[in-house]
Structure 1
Amino acid sequence: MESLDDVQHDQRQQREAQRKLGLPTNYRFEIDKCIKRIKEKNARRVALQFPEGLLMFSIPIADILEEATGSEMVILGDVTYGACCVDDFSAAALGCDFLIHYGHSCLISIKDCIVANMMYVFVEIDIDVQHFIDTVKALVPADARVACIGTVQFISSMRAGLRVLQEEHFIHPVVIPQNRPLSTGEVLGCTSPKVNPAEVDSVLYVGDGRFHVESFLIAHPDLSALQYDPYKKTLSQETYATAEMRALRREAVEKAKVAQSFAIVMGTLGRQGHPRVVDRIIALAQRHGKRVTLLLMSEIFPQKMALLEDVDCYIQVACPRLSIDWGYAFDRPLLSPYEAEVALGNAQWGEEYPMDHYSRAGGNWAVYTDKSL
């Protein structure tokens, strides 16, 4: 774990390098590393993929990389919600022999992608670590038993701040949980690390917005979280209406139990859909005598799904948060893989809603676990 001085020195060097390139000084696009890798692989055509929040920098970065390497750059402009949307299929179809995915962690294994060469650039964002330290010292008791999580952009800064807080403030060791293959402390909207509520008083979340911290709160209904927003420089108490969410999702599951026909939708936005999960759910539904129709969709909208006739229930294999956050907007139950397993009698409705979609230790509905029935 780097010291605060090391981090601040590294931030100054990074800002100067980015300034010379005309890019934001606090965003780590790792331009030198990208150039080196492209040259090492003798890449002819390189696909660049950005989430919408970084798309504004795509053309300057493409120009810089083209000039430095002589390789052709192709920008993939389709919406990118997360690392699950890595679009190696489109990159390969365009004849690209290298893919660089910006803004997310290594969720989809490089060895599973069909493009010959690939790299992830997290785009870590430098924050005011000293302000984070001072804020926590002022508002979180020294004797609190703290766990800390964050999004991948802020993990390095978070760890640097925690090292100082451990030395100068907290009495008990700070817990930084991990849910592999995620980085230590990293939380996704669909996958959260687990902590023991009996061993933790306070949970610190470093990141902006609510989507990721909600994942942790869904998985830990008895905990709340303190969110440090690096942009607003605020510390706020965050909660989630878990009981209301669980009631809505339980109602959808109960309706699905008596359904006779299912539309199973596999998401095709990058790598969002997972054929193994789809095959498992189809086999499980057919075992129970259900009629099954398989659909492929890049994005799943209520208006489009409502056009389907002779279907009692939808099961989507794309993102579990689509069911949790937007299930109420659909005209028929929209189940996640976990909820489908419950509705089809192959899993129990637990006291905690599992947020383990990409966990190596996830349930049978998760991406990386054994799908055999």
Structure 2
Amino acid sequence: MLRRFDLTGLIEEVRETNAKKIGIQLPDGIKYWIFEIVRILEKEGFEVVVSGKASYGSCDIDLELLKKVDLLMHFSHTPVIELDRVVYVPYKVEYNVESVLKTLRTEDIEFERVSLTATSQYAHKLEEVKERLEDEGFKVYLKKGSDRVKMKGQVLGCNFTSVDRRAEAVIFVGDGNFHPKGIAIYSKKDVYAVSPLEEKLRKFRKDEVEKFIRERYTLIAKAMECKNFCVVASSKPGQNRLDLAVKLRNLLNSVNCNSIIVYTDEVRLENFPCECIINTACPRISYDDWRVIKKPVLTPQEAEIIAGKRSLDDYEVDEIL
């Protein structure tokens, strides 16, 4: 298996901007490439500064470094927004499609209609995976989601619109549990997650999603007993939903909840005397980090439930579209 950055034409593209000082930003999982990348750029005559901040996606651009350099190269993620002086460098993993099919065969997939998805690193081969699955008798749906995603079948941690609801189950190509868990919650369908890196298959069942929903209902019930709310709006350009935060604050105040808007790049509100957090930043903070924060962290849709604007039967996951 080969992992590569598509640097074709990138150097010339950067030269045309007359940039001299280049910033580099990579997610933690591929920072082992950084010395090679810096060496290549310095050999071409650029001054290079590396971002030390964590990067969880192209919604999470290092704006402070961008102020100090002529141009910022953001590696691994496809753009969710376009920013001046930011160049997005795709990261693709070349993997064996037959190996993916072999791994899938280790589980008896009892559904005929499947939706095919992947992270951006693996999405470039989904058409080939689709053809092979169809050869084996599956009806395969492969579609592009909202404008926030750039490739057919691509999913983000905050956007699952590439999942086709006509399918009975979802096949995900990628690593880790982060994305397939989100797909399962969004689609309420079984998800078969195949990792080309590990050549392993993990299954996320609908009953696990139902357990997750029950946990969310418990948090909503706790939040209904709260009086003081912090409505969080993110300063990160790809997560900024300040207008939504204002609407939610007005909604909470209309039902006699005491609320304020907190504008921040990190959801760290330990010193704020709020009993509950309404999160309009990255949706995964609400779903994955609430145990660490030790306060109920609700999504905008869950805030609508506690304000009486939405019913429990109309529960939806939060996405940034």
Normalised TM-score (structure 2): 0.87
The verdict on how the C-alpha distance between 1:329 and 1:295 changes in structure 2, with shifts beyond 3 A counting, is same
Letter matched to residue 229 of structure 2: F
Separation (CA, whole Å) in 1 of partners of 2:275 and 2:43: 55
- Return the offset for 1:122: 2.4
User: Who is 2:72 aligned against?
Assistant: 99
Residue pairs, 1:301-316, within 5 angstroms: 301=268, 305-309=269-273, 311-316=274-279
Residue pairs, 1:43-58, within 5 angstroms: 43-58=19-34
Letter matched to residue 233 of structure 1: E
Normalised TM-score (structure 1): 0.76
SS at 2:64 equivalent: helix
- Return the offset for 1:239: 2.5
SS at 1:123 equivalent: strand
Residue ranges of structure 1 left out of the alignment (5+ in a row): 1-24, 360-373
Residue ranges of structure 2 left out of the alignment (5+ in a row): none
SS at 1:276 equivalent: helix
Separation (CA, whole Å) in 2 of partners of 1:213 and 1:131: 19
Pick from 321, 341, 345 the counterpart of residue 304 of structure 2.
341
SS at 1:83 equivalent: coil
Question: Do the aligned residues in 2 keep the contact of 1:187 with 1:213 (CA within 8 Å)?
Answer: no
- Return the offset for 1:258: 4.2
Is 1:239 aligned with 2:214?
A: no
User: Who is 1:358 aligned against?
Assistant: 320
Is 1:319 aligned with 2:313?
A: no
The verdict on how the C-alpha distance between 1:99 and 1:73 changes in structure 2, with shifts beyond 3 A counting, is same
Higher helix share: 1
Letter matched to residue 299 of structure 2: S
Separation (CA, whole Å) in 2 of partners of 1:312 and 1:237: 36
Question: Do the aligned residues in 2 keep the contact of 1:137 with 1:169 (CA within 8 Å)?
Answer: no
Question: Do the aligned residues in 1 keep the contact of 2:95 with 2:196 (CA within 8 Å)?
Answer: yes
Is 1:157 aligned with 2:122?
A: no
The verdict on how the C-alpha distance between 1:195 and 1:53 changes in structure 2, with shifts beyond 3 A counting, is same
Please give the per-residue CA displacement for 1:271-312, whole angstroms capped at 9, x wherever unaligned: 4343222222223233334332333443335xxx34333x23
User: Who is 1:62 aligned against?
Assistant: 38
Separation (CA, whole Å) in 1 of partners of 2:127 and 2:305: 38
- Return the offset for 1:50: 0.5
The verdict on how the C-alpha distance between 1:264 and 1:155 changes in structure 2, with shifts beyond 3 A counting, is same
The verdict on how the C-alpha distance between 1:284 and 1:39 changes in structure 2, with shifts beyond 3 A counting, is same
Please give the per-residue CA displacement for 1:85-112, whole angstroms capped at 9, x wherever unaligned: 122x213321x232221111221x21xx
Letter matched to residue 217 of structure 2: R
Pick from 196, 199, 208 the counterpart of residue 175 of structure 2.
208
Higher strand share: 2
Letter matched to residue 179 of structure 2: H
- Return the offset for 1:74: 1.8
* Aligned CA-pair RMSD: 2.6
Separation (CA, whole Å) in 2 of partners of 1:50 and 1:270: 17
The verdict on how the C-alpha distance between 1:136 and 1:258 changes in structure 2, with shifts beyond 3 A counting, is closer
Deviates more, 1:331-340 or 1:123-132: 331-340
- Return the offset for 1:140: 5.9
The verdict on how the C-alpha distance between 1:83 and 1:51 changes in structure 2, with shifts beyond 3 A counting, is same
Letter matched to residue 31 of structure 1: L
The verdict on how the C-alpha distance between 1:138 and 1:210 changes in structure 2, with shifts beyond 3 A counting, is closer
User: Who is 2:57 aligned against?
Assistant: 82
Separation (CA, whole Å) in 1 of partners of 2:276 and 2:107: 47
- Return the offset for 1:141: 6.7
